Amino acid sequence: MEKRRGSPFGSTTIEGLSPNRVRKTRFLFLIVLFAVSLYGGLVTVYTLEVKNQKKGEIILRERVSPGEEFLFRYTHSVEKTPVEGIFAVEKEGGLRMVETRFPSHGAGLPLSAEREPSQEGWFVYRGGDRLEELTFLFSSLNHPLLRFRHREMSLSEQDGEEGMLTFSVKADCLVVYLLKKLFPTSRWLL
């Protein structure tokens, strides 16, 4: 049997196919490849990204849709009570604060919340503020937690850990999104 060398694109002979058929097949392949690349470059994909700034690592990167919500919960460092914030993904990227819930007023919590607690015993501040990103400084006292799509995720790995979390919505073309999924630790894609 004869050994073939070179590129399959350099020859117009493929066993069982006419040279004309080979050219048409290659041309069709290039058109499809071009169309897929064009589509992938035009379609925008939004992702929720949670990053530990101190470690420089991305804890979560999930595809999201505008209007989708997540809950961020932590323990207030002074009051030692839980605080919950609900945030929604905006249509053009970014975040919108939907509401903040807390059982008692404390330092750094909204003053304009309902004066009386709800039946569940929580004060509720309904926001609407738009944020490019949410930044949260945490220590081992805070126990930051993310609840997203019926899953809970602790955002501090060990006791005594301190750091800074950023929550943001990234808008990437489909091609870049897929590359980030394939190569999650690649620095040039961040």
Angle between helices 19-42 and 174-182 (to 10 degrees): 90
Place of tokens 């939907």: 98
pLDDT of residue 69: 95
With a CB cutoff of 8 Å and minimum separation 6, the contacts of 118 are 124
The pairing of strands 151-154 and 145-148 is: antiparallel
Q: Where are the domains of the chain?
A: 9-42, 45-96+133-189
pLDDT of residue 152: 92
Three-state SS annotation for 39-63: HHHHCEEEEEEEEECCCCEEEEEEE
> What is the DSSP code (8-state) at residue 118?
-
pLDDT of residue 2: 55
pLDDT of residue 107: 67
CA distance 144 to 153: 9
- Cα radius of gyration (the chain): 25
Q: What is the pLDDT along the chain (190 residues), one digit of tens a residue?
A: 455 555 555 555 667 777 777 777 787 777 777 777 666 567 788 989 999 888 888 888 899 999 999 999 998 888 788 999 999 999 888 999 999 888 877 666 666 655 666 767 888 888 888 999 999 988 878 889 999 998 998 887 655 678 899 999 988 887 777 787 787 765 555 5
